[in-house]
Amino acid sequence: MQDVFRFDRQNVVRVKQETLKGILFDMNVFKTADGTICTIANLNEISIDVSVKRKGGKKEILFNGKLDEVLQGLYGQTMKYALCIKKLASGYKVSLDFRSGVLKLNGDDELEIIMRPNKAAFTDINTATSTIEVETIPAQGGSTALPQVDIISIGAGKMSIDEQLGNGIISIMIATDFTMDYDTSDKAKIDNVKLDANGLSKDVTGNLLIAENMEMLQLNPETPVRNMVIHRANDPREVLSNVRLKVDFTKAVDQDARILVVRKVFV
């Protein structure tokens, strides 16, 4: 499937009878002043909803939220995130993949993609000439588990959280600032974390989390840590169930603070 989305409107595309492993959003964003590529201002000005509906079944949400929330949930502290936001002469290649998963759409099965890109996502954008080209990424084989990103609002003013997160969890991130890297941000930071799950009890300080997150970027140490990954499964044995997360913050969080949970689902 290939389609073209426009800015400042809701765009919808439905995909049938394909086998895919993700979706590419090729962002051709041009400045009003000189026609060169715009700088990213805030990717959370782009809303995205990706869902699957099997014939006779209910709609299952894979991604539903703001684009930078989804990207950081999936790719925080990886080179994949850095590549998604890298400015090229041709724009930005934002790939939402299924983390090695495959979706096979048979018969009346349907993948629905809804996106509303607001012009505030980029600086000085010419919306008359800028577009987002959408393309499914082909795959082969039968359907497997797919990633689902849960975006949980922490709530403005909170100094701590105590959340039951459920099962099938691949990764957990605490995001307190989507505009600055973690070191330079003056927003709330993590003081302590306690994570309990099947076979795992993690009770650590924010200092240890910073060190762990820096190690995730060891192949490219100049890339800044943006938000804190609390857990990421590197093999199936590290997927968590019965998860309870407690976090104390250094000060009250604001209205944009989120828990970003990626879990594996079968649809």
Could you give the CA distance from residue 144 to residue 59 in angstroms, rounded to a whole number? Answer: 17
- Tally helices (H) and strands (E) across the chain: 3, 17
DSSP annotation of 45: G
Are both 119 and 152 inside the same structural domain? no
Could you give the CA distance from residue 232 to residue 229 in angstroms, rounded to a whole number? Answer: 7
| Burial of 247 per CB tally in 10 Å (0-12, 13-18, 19+) | buried
**Looking at 122, 144, 166, which one is the last position of a domain?**
144
Q: Give this prediction's pTM.
A: 0.96
Alpha carbons within 13 angstroms on the beta-carbon side of residue 259 total 25
Are both 26 and 63 inside the same structural domain? yes
How far out from the chain centre does Cα 129 lie? 27
Could you give the CA distance from residue 92 to residue 107 in angstroms, rounded to a whole number? Answer: 33
DSSP string, 78-119: SHHHHHHT--BTTBEEEEEE-TT--EE--TT-EEEEEEEE-G
State residue 221's pLDDT score. 80
Are both 95 and 158 inside the same structural domain? no
State residue 88's pLDDT score. 98
Give the count of domains, the chain: 2
Greatest extent of the chain over all pairs of C-alpha atoms, in Å: 57
Are both 8 and 118 inside the same structural domain? yes
Structural domain harbouring 31: 2-144
State residue 199's pLDDT score. 83
In single-letter form, the type of residue at position 195 comes to L
H-state helical runs in the chain: 67-75, 79-84, 206-216
CATH number assigned to the domain comprising residue 121: 2.60.120
Are both 114 and 14 inside the same structural domain? yes
State residue 174's pLDDT score. 98
Neighbours of 79 (CB within 10 A): 14
CATH number assigned to the domain comprising residue 261: 2.60.120.20
Could you give the CA distance from residue 145 to residue 263 in angstroms, rounded to a whole number? Answer: 9
**Looking at 144, 170, 195, which one is the last position of a domain?**
144
Are both 244 and 180 inside the same structural domain? yes
pLDDT tens for the chain, 267 residues long, are 999 999 999 999 999 999 999 999 999 999 999 999 999 999 999 999 999 999 888 999 999 999 999 999 999 999 999 999 999 999 999 999 998 999 999 999 999 999 999 999 999 999 999 999 999 999 999 999 999 999 999 999 999 999 999 999 999 999 999 999 999 999 999 999 999 999 899 999 999 999 999 999 988 788 899 999 999 999 989 999 999 999 999 999 999 999 999 999 999
Could you give the CA distance from residue 147 to residue 101 in angstroms, rounded to a whole number? Answer: 8
- CA torsion sign, 103 to 105 to 106 to 109? positive
